[in-house]
Structure 1
Amino acid sequence: MSTATPTLIDGPAGPLEIAFQQPATTAATALALICHPHPVHGGTMDNKVVQTLAKAFLELGYATMRFNFRGVGKSAGNFDEGIGETEDAAAALAWARARVSPSLPLIAAGFSFGCFVQSRLLPRSQPQQLVLVGPAVSRFQLAEVPKDTLVIHGEEDDVVPLDAVMAWARPQGLPVTVFPGTGHFFHGRLTELKAVVKRNGRL
């Protein structure tokens, strides 16, 4: 696999730090955009769950785009309650799409707050697959998502209670993959998380 090198691109609030990666030996068959958890609480594109998602998609032969929301790392700007962060995601997606075949299908993935941002971007991104890990439904208003969305949550999540995720998913008829005995950050379960994403989140 190739190595993602962080770089700066033009973003809506100034420089936007990204890590774009393509398969080393084959042409990418899809593009995955991955959004990180809450910036104010230490979320970055190098979060372990975000990196696990990127590794899963790269192993499936997809190009991957991680990036730091405004005010995180070398990205300019300040936290904007998900509004400006949605524009950051749109800018990162546009940059990545310009570097792969325009016909490649899109996977939109997020962790925690990143799920909220992906839900806000849905009308514009229109991904072929949506992957939500630990969606922060008790803290942000997530829009309705497609019926084939892969939702993964920890049974013992102390940041976003599983009950809240089930209450959000139930009216939509969304299946939820639950990791027994697992907290919000999937400590000790990242290998299994990657396997589930590769098996169920692929195109």
Structure 2
Amino acid sequence: MLTRETPVQIDGPVGQLEALYLDSAEPKGLALVCHPNPVQGGTMLNKVVSTLQRTARDAGLVTLRFNYRGVGASAGTHDMGAGEVDDALAAALWLRARHPDLPLNLLGFSFGGFVAASLGGRLEAQGEQLARLFMVAPAVMRLGDEDALPQTCAITVIQPETDEVIDPQLVYDWSSTLSRPHELLKVAECGHFFHGKLPELKELVAPRLSI
């Protein structure tokens, strides 16, 4: 199994996006991973993002993680909203162009949960049939009326119960008002960054990537 990611440059809306790509000899699907808030130091090397990437890799998926505009070697400056979703769309289209027939999974942590969710709606509107959306400790307060969720793929929300960054109750309330089917998984005694709980995160994600 291939384990070493390859640095790549992706043409983004405001310039080149820095990314890490991992192919697979016999790929079962695709995984695009979106990182947390860049203003608070979030990058594609975040440990939760890295855990999600490795989990997808171990499930036999081709993976791509990338830095939003203004992060690392990616061009541009932070937009903190639609711009990062535009960047994610460019990354998704880059991945899809290389693997036109494989099912696509979207995974996002914190701010990246908002990005992945909004991206999912955009891709579905363009005719993409997504496999699954994972929202990990997601910044649901950023989702506006213009951020339509995908309606046909499976959605898994994973929320730490002692999250000190995203108020868990905000996520629970959002989940309770979501009209479409989804699953909400709560992780007990776990903070936002999954300190000491990364193996449990992997255990929740891995079997759902294999479906």
Residue number in structure 2 paired with 1:153: 159
**Could you tell me how far apart the structure 1 residues matched to 2:10 and 2:142 are?**
30
4+ residue runs over 6 A deviation: none
Residue number in structure 1 paired with 2:127: none
Question: Does residue 132 of the first structure (1) align with residue 140 of the second (2)?
Answer: no
- Residue in structure 1 matching 2:107, options 106, 109, 119: 109
Instruction: State the shift of 1:186 in Å.
Output: 0.3
Instruction: State the shift of 1:139 in Å.
Output: 4.7
- Residues 104-152 of structure 1 show CA distances to partners (whole Å, capped at 9, x for unaligned) of 1110110011111112212332322101100112355464454731110
RMSD: 1.6
Identity %: 44
1:6 is matched by which residue type in structure 2? P
Kept in 2, the 8 Å contact 1:27–1:61? The answer is yes
Kept in 2, the 8 Å contact 1:32–1:63? The answer is yes
Q: Which secondary structure state, in structure 2, belongs to the residue aligned with residue 178 of structure 1?
A: strand
**Could you tell me how far apart the structure 1 residues matched to 2:54 and 2:4 are?**
11
**Could you tell me how far apart the structure 2 residues matched to 1:139 and 1:105 are?**
27
Residue number in structure 2 paired with 1:70: 69
Q: TM-score by structure 1 length?
A: 0.92
Residue segments in structure 2 that go unaligned for 5+ positions in a row: 125-129
Q: Which secondary structure state, in structure 2, belongs to the residue aligned with residue 185 of structure 1?
A: coil
**Could you tell me how far apart the structure 2 residues matched to 1:190 and 1:61 are?**
19
Alignment of 1:168-179 (within 5 A): 168-172=174-178, 174-179=182-187
Residue number in structure 2 paired with 1:19: 20
Alignment of 1:56-95 (within 5 A): 56-95=55-94
2:118 is matched by which residue type in structure 1? R
Instruction: State the shift of 1:171 in Å.
Output: 1.7
Q: TM-score by structure 2 length?
A: 0.89
Q: Which secondary structure state, in structure 2, belongs to the residue aligned with residue 80 of structure 1?
A: coil
Kept in 1, the 8 Å contact 2:15–2:76? The answer is yes
**Could you tell me how far apart the structure 2 residues matched to 1:115 and 1:37 are?**
8
- Residues 64-102 of structure 1 show CA distances to partners (whole Å, capped at 9, x for unaligned) of 0100000000000011122111111111111112222x1
Question: Does residue 200 of the first structure (1) align with residue 199 of the second (2)?
Answer: no
- Segment of structure 1 superposing worse, 185-194 or 132-141: 132-141
Q: Which secondary structure state, in structure 1, belongs to the residue aligned with residue 56 of structure 2?
A: helix
Kept in 2, the 8 Å contact 1:150–1:201? The answer is no
- Segment of structure 1 superposing worse, 61-70 or 171-180: 171-180
Instruction: State the shift of 1:12 in Å.
Output: 1.0
2:115 is matched by which residue type in structure 1? V
